Structure 1
Amino acid sequence: MNTSVSSSETSGPIVELVARARAAQRIYETWSQAQVDMAVTAAGWAIIEPARNRELAELAVADTGVGNVEDKVRKNHRKTFGLLRDLQGARSVGVIAEDPARGIVEIARPVGVVCAITPSTNPGATPANKIINALKGRNAVIVAPSPKGWSTAARLIEFIHQQFDRIGAPRDLVQLLPAPVNKQSTAELMRLCDLVVATGSQANVRAAYASGTPAFGVGAGNVAGIVDETADTEAAADRIVRSKTFDNATSCSSENSLVVVDAVRARLLAALKDRGAVMLGEAQKATLQQLMWPGGKLSPAVIGQSARAIAERAAEVDGANRAAWQAIAEADPRILMVAEDGVGHDHPFSGEKLSPVLAVYAARDFAHAASIVERIYGYEGAGHSVGLHSAVPERALELGLSLPVSRVIVDQAHCIATGGSFDNGLPFSLSMGCGTWGRNNFSDNMNYRHYLNITRVSRPIAEQVPSEEQIFGAFFAQHGAH
Structure 2
Amino acid sequence: MNAHQDITAVDRIMDRARAAQAAFEDGATQDRYDRAAQAAAWAIMEPGRNRALAELSVKTTGLGNVPDKITKNHRKTLGLMRDIATAKTHGIVSDDPATGITEIARPIGVIGAVVPSTNPAATPANNIINALKCGNAIVLSPSPKGIAACEMLLGFIHAEFDKIGLDHDLVQMVPPPGSKEKTQRMLEQSDLVVVTGSQDNVRRAYTCGTPAIGVGAGNVTVIVDDTADLDAAAQKIAASKTFDNATSCSSENALVVVDAIYDAFVAAMARQGGALIPESGEAQIVERLWPDGKLNRSVIAQDADVMIDALGLTGQVPADTQFIAVETRGIGPDHPLSGEKLSRVVALYRAADFSDAAEIASRILEHQGAGHSIGLHSADENRALHLGETIPTCRVIVNQAHCFATGGAFNNGMPFSLSMGCGSWGGNSIDDNLNWRHFMQTTKIVREIPPVEPSVEEIFADYWADAGK
Q: Which residue of 2 aligns with 1:358?
A: 346
Q: Which residue of 2 aligns with 1:393?
A: 381
Q: Which residue of 2 aligns with 1:14?
A: 10
- CA displacement at 1:308 relative to structure 2: 2.0
Identity across matched positions, percent: 53
Q: Which residue of 1 aligns with 2:229?
A: 232
Q: Which residue of 1 aligns with 2:298?
A: 301
Q: Is the 8 A contact 2:275 2:318 kept in 1?
A: no
Q: Which residue of 1 aligns with 2:183?
A: 186
Which whole-Å deviations, capped at 9, do the CAs of 1:148-199 have from their partners, x for residues lacking one? 0100010000000000011111111001111100111111111111111000
User: Per the alignment, do residues 454 and 178 of structure 1 end up closer, same or farther by CA in structure 2, a change over 3 Å counting?
Assistant: same
CA distance, structure 1, for counterparts of residue 150 and residue 106 of structure 2:
27
User: Per the alignment, do residues 120 and 9 of structure 1 end up closer, same or farther by CA in structure 2, a change over 3 Å counting?
Assistant: closer
User: Per the alignment, do residues 448 and 97 of structure 1 end up closer, same or farther by CA in structure 2, a change over 3 Å counting?
Assistant: same
Matching of residues 71-470 of structure 1 within 5 Å:
71-282=68-279, 284-315=281-312, 325-328=313-316, 331-470=319-458
Q: Is the 8 A contact 1:351 1:380 kept in 2?
A: yes
SS of aligned partner of 1:326: coil
Q: After alignment, is 202-211 or 52-61 more displaced?
A: 202-211
Q: Is the 8 A contact 1:278 1:333 kept in 2?
A: yes
SS of aligned partner of 1:360: strand
RMSD: 1.4
Q: Which residue of 1 aligns with 2:459?
A: 471
Which whole-Å deviations, capped at 9, do the CAs of 1:35-65 have from their partners, x for residues lacking one? 1101111110000011100100000000000
CA distance, structure 2, for counterparts of residue 352 and residue 93 of structure 1:
40
Q: Is the 8 A contact 2:384 2:396 kept in 1?
A: yes
CA distance, structure 2, for counterparts of residue 392 and residue 407 of structure 1:
17
Which whole-Å deviations, capped at 9, do the CAs of 1:43-91 have from their partners, x for residues lacking one? 1000001110010000000000000000000000000000000000100
Q: After alignment, is 100-109 or 63-72 more displaced?
A: 100-109
CA distance, structure 1, for counterparts of residue 299 and residue 438 of structure 2:
34
Q: Specify the code of the residue in structure 2 equivalent to 1:134.
A: A
Q: Specify the code of the residue in structure 1 equivalent to 2:116.
A: P
CA distance, structure 2, for counterparts of residue 447 and residue 272 of structure 1:
34
Q: Specify the code of the residue in structure 1 equivalent to 2:147.
A: W
Q: Is the 8 A contact 1:307 1:357 kept in 2?
A: no
Task: For structure 1, list consecutive stretches of 5 or more residues without a partner in the other structure.
Answer: 1-7, 316-324
TM-score of the aligned structures, taking structure 1 as reference length: 0.94
Matching of residues 31-70 of structure 1 within 5 Å:
31-70=28-67
Task: For structure 2, list consecutive stretches of 5 or more residues without a partner in the other structure.
Answer: none
- CA displacement at 1:297 relative to structure 2: 2.7
SS of aligned partner of 2:222: strand
User: Per the alignment, do residues 258 and 329 of structure 1 end up closer, same or farther by CA in structure 2, a change over 3 Å counting?
Assistant: closer
Q: Specify the code of the residue in structure 1 equivalent to 2:267.
A: A
Number of residue equivalences: 465
Q: Is the 8 A contact 1:311 1:328 kept in 2?
A: no
User: Per the alignment, do residues 283 and 341 of structure 1 end up closer, same or farther by CA in structure 2, a change over 3 Å counting?
Assistant: closer
Q: Specify the code of the residue in structure 2 equivalent to 1:29.
A: E
CA distance, structure 1, for counterparts of residue 399 and residue 11 of structure 2:
49
CA distance, structure 1, for counterparts of residue 300 and residue 140 of structure 2:
23
SS of aligned partner of 1:443: coil
Q: Specify the code of the residue in structure 2 equivalent to 1:463.
A: P
Q: Is the 8 A contact 2:279 2:328 kept in 1?
A: no
Q: Is the 8 A contact 1:307 1:332 kept in 2?
A: no
Q: Specify the code of the residue in structure 2 equivalent to 1:255.
A: E
SS of aligned partner of 2:88: coil
Q: Is the 8 A contact 1:307 1:336 kept in 2?
A: no
CA distance, structure 2, for counterparts of residue 478 and residue 410 of structure 1:
40
Q: Specify the code of the residue in structure 1 equivalent to 2:259.
A: D
User: Per the alignment, do residues 10 and 202 of structure 1 end up closer, same or farther by CA in structure 2, a change over 3 Å counting?
Assistant: closer
CA distance, structure 1, for counterparts of residue 225 and residue 432 of structure 2:
26
After the TM superposition, which segments of 4 or more aligned residues of structure 1 sit over 4 Å from their partners?
A: 8-11
- CA displacement at 1:283 relative to structure 2: 5.0
Q: After alignment, is 299-308 or 209-218 more displaced?
A: 299-308
Q: Is the 8 A contact 2:111 2:193 kept in 1?
A: yes
Q: Is the 8 A contact 1:222 1:253 kept in 2?
A: yes
CA distance, structure 2, for counterparts of residue 413 and residue 473 of structure 1:
50
